[in-house]
Amino acid sequence: MEEKKVEPTKTNVKKANLLDHNSIKHILDESVSDIVTSRGYKEDVRLSNLKLFLGVIIIVDALVAQFYNKKFPENRNFLIGCIILYVVLNAVLQLILYTKEKNAILFTYPLEGSFTSTGLVVSSKLPRFSDQYTLTIDSADPKSISAGKSVQLTKSVTQWFTKDGVLVEGLFWKDVEALIKDYAEDKEPKKKK
| Chain segment 78-115, per-residue pLDDT in tens | 888 999 999 999 999 999 989 888 889 999 998 887 77
pLDDT in tens, 30-48: 999 999 999 989 999 999 9
Cβ-Cβ contacts under 8 Å for 25 (sequence gap 6 or more): 124, 126, 133
What is this structure's pTM? 0.78
Sign of the Cα torsion 143, 144, 149, 150 reads: negative
Domain ranges, residue 79: 47-101
Residues 112 and 181 in one domain: yes
Cα–Cα dist 15/169, whole Å = 11
Query: Would 7 be classed as within a structural domain?
Result: no
Residues 145 and 52 in one domain: no
Distance of CA 7 to the CA centre of its chain: 21
Cβ-Cβ contacts under 8 Å for 67 (sequence gap 6 or more): none
Query: Would 4 be classed as within a structural domain?
Result: no
